Amino acid sequence: MNVRYESVIGLEVHCQLELASKLFSPCPLEIGAVPNTRTDAYTWGLPGTLPMPNRAAVQAAIALALATRCTVHRHSRFARKHYFYPDLPKGYQITQADEPYATGGEVEIPGFTRDDGAPWRVRLHRIHLEEDAGKNVHVGRTSGVDYNRAGAPLVEIVSEPDLRSAEQAAAYMRELRTLVRALGISQANMEEGTLRCDANVSLRPVGTEPLGERCEIKNVNSFRFLARAIDAEIRRQTDLLTHGESITRCTLGYDHEHDRLFVMRTKEDAADYRFLPDPDLPPLVIDDAWVDEVRNALPELPAARRERWRGLGVAADDASMLAAERDLAEYFDALLVATGTARARRAANWLVTDLLGRLGSAPIASCPVPATMLAEIVTMVDDDVISGRTGKDVLGLCWSGEGTPAQLVEQRGLGQLSDAGPVDALIAEVFAENPRQLASLLAGKDSLRGFFVGQIMKRSRGQANPRLVATRLDAALGQAAGSTEEPS
């Protein structure tokens, strides 16, 4: 029997908070520091040390919970998660087990809708705080442990199994990264390990409700590899089920060089971490006043920004791209202030196509053209002061530090030709130089019209008003056709 299967995916995302110190210690926190130079007695788990909660970490965690519409609980608890591994100095990790600080909530994935047209929202099961472990480092046949990361503050965001494809899973991860960056609580770089993801994947026959046996993919370090790993696991499980075999629950790693999965360990039962309340930490109390304080300080969230921009006519893809980074979103808003919201769509086109095209992968903070200068260019093109082609040239000159747009247009005589007389003179010159093509056009070869427009624009160095060129060219062609007609 040919059975069609549906993939069911849930993600467990670890996000390292961008703070000056660790979760339970004043020890400095620095990504990329020399191994084992950002440690202290608590990090090493030395006897007599006690955890001291980092208020800034809790505040950042509250902001994330509010941004994802979670319920923030007044009381939550920290617990000890016991396991023995070289990167865990104390022999246990402090986390939140049965009493997390936030539950529920949801994240909307841009670009995905359900069958009824409603936005695709991924429900969250919980968000909790925990400290990170260290990092095992393997060089050739030698292994070591870097404890700089041990004790770093993490939030773990656990979704419900609401994702249905690898593409959706990657988009959900990107939206989480966009959100935490907008909040200013994390850089969330998968390559640096400040954003990490475990994916739980199972299959079930289409139209059924019970979940199939799930397998977990660990430690995927890029959005592209996450999608590829999930696709590989869907193919693996589909092949097994199609051939009448069962799925064995296991933990998998992903080899991106060969696009294959490998079994790290099997899980017959859940691991026994012997969770118990941490006796050194009282309950975490988050009162209403603290929640209100954080809520009042929240910036405009990416989803709200996208919706506002779409209401101004900005294309959905452009809105998503511009909202993805906080600095870029603020640049675009500054651009809108300078151009006026009526030009929002054209301003977005200039920013996405021309400015970001020059910027490449560099951050917007390194852009040498401020939003006010780009706004000048957009406005001058829109008001027919200069042509679009000249606008691109002016942008290049501004990029090189040659001056402001207004200065460049005035000093270099770049203003658009918007008078009929000079344009008619250019048309007459082009006609005189191309009599054969003119005769073919008048004989009905309409494709040559573009040739003449191009020649006129080239002769004007791109400064002729394209709409005026089109109008005057039609008039000149009418006159030329009339002059070639046989007398009656």
Residue 485 has pLDDT above 70, yes or no: no
Q: What is the mean pLDDT of residues 401-408?
A: 93
**CATH 1.10.10 at 420-484, yes or no:** yes
Sign of the four-CA dihedral 260, 264, 265, 271: negative
What pLDDT, on a 0 to 100 scale, did the predictor assign at position 305? 96
Rounded mean pLDDT of 285-295? 97
Average the pLDDT over 358-384 and give the result. Answer: 94
Distances (CA, A) of 320 to 189, 222, 305, 309, 481: 19, 19, 9, 10, 50
Whole-number Cα distances in Å, 331 to 164, 177, 399:
35, 19, 16
Q: Is the pLDDT of residue 479 over 50?
A: yes
Which three-class secondary structure state does DSSP give residue 165?
coil
Poorest-confidence range of 174-183, 309-318, 342-351, 437-446? 437-446
Residue 231 near residue 169 (C-beta atoms within 8 A): no
Using N-to-C axis directions, what is the helix angle for 166-183 and 223-242, rounded to 10°? Answer: 150
> What's the confidence (pLDDT) of residue 442?
85
pLDDT in the model for residue 488: 46
| Residues 6+ away with beta carbon under 8 Å from 36 | 146, 147, 148
pLDDT of the residue at 304: 95
Q: Are strands 276-277 and 79-82 parallel, antiparallel or unpaired?
A: antiparallel
H/E element, 154: strand 153-159
13-18 mean pLDDT: 97
pLDDT for position 270: 56
Give the span between the Cα atoms of 106 and 120, in whole angstroms. 10
pLDDT at 439: 85
Mean pLDDT in residue range 192-217: 94
Predicted local confidence at residue 425, as pLDDT? 87
Residue-wise pLDDT for 244-284, tens only, equals 999 999 999 998 888 889 998 876 555 678 899 999 999 99
Confidence label for 416 from pLDDT (cuts 50, 70 and 90): confident
Gyration radius of the chain over CA positions: 30
Q: Give pLDDT, residue 339.
A: 96
Which residues fall within 8 angstroms of residue 375, CB to CB, at 6 or more apart?
Answer: 335, 338, 339, 347
Q: Kindly report, residue by residue over 96-142, the tens digit of the pLDDT.
A: 999 999 999 999 999 899 988 899 999 999 999 999 999 988 888 88
- Tokens, residue 166: 């690898």
What pLDDT shows up at residue 271? 66
Residue type, 221: N
Domain boundaries, the chain: 5-290, 300-411, 420-484
- Quote the pLDDT of residue 443: 85
Q: Is 381 left (phi over 0), alpha (psi -120 to 50) or beta?
A: alpha
Poorest-pLDDT segment among 6-10, 80-84, 101-105: 80-84
User: Alpha-carbon distance 210 to 233, whole Å?
Assistant: 19
Q: Which of the residue ranges 64-78, 150-164, 366-380, 411-425 would you say has the lowest mean pLDDT?
A: 411-425
Least confident of 90-94, 146-150, 344-348, 389-393: 389-393
Is-contact 467 456, C-beta < 8 A? no
Q: Using an 8 Å Cβ cutoff, are 107 and 137 in contact? A: no
Dihedral angle of Cα 439, 443, 448, 451, to the nearest 10 degrees: 30
Mean residue pLDDT of the chain comes to 91
